[in-house]
Structure 1
């Protein structure tokens, strides 16, 4: 992903953009790895990527730890080229 300003803003489909930007060390090209945990008892979750409308696979077993939250997301970001 090319991030020419060195910032990434997250946005929830139902809640809109977060007020806290993710500021990266410098502008450049980055790779990302995303891992999601969803609460399957609240609703199916679809991919945040454009054009992917299928419900995402969601392994059971995390319901108790989720409490009233519908999802958690771990994002790992690393730079592969400086702008």
Structure 2
């Protein structure tokens, strides 16, 4: 993004954080976690496929982020969400 806008990355992040209250990394992680939750609740894709679609390289890292965001693992999220749908 910095290269495209011809600005320093730190400067862009400061401006973004000032406007949104969140870092660009935090915002992107939130978008990915919300998409992961959507895919878990609306598809039968396995977790590894979802991780690859969201371009995460490390399953352990993804699972840690997901658990921090939703206070449960992706598998637990899928089970609880489907129970709630019935």
Q: TM-score, normalised by structure 1?
A: 0.30
By relative contact order (CA 8 Å, sep 6+), the higher-ranking structure is: 1
Q: Which has more helix, going by share of residues?
A: 2
Task: Pick the structure with greater CA Rg.
Answer: 2
Q: Which has more strand, going by share of residues?
A: 1
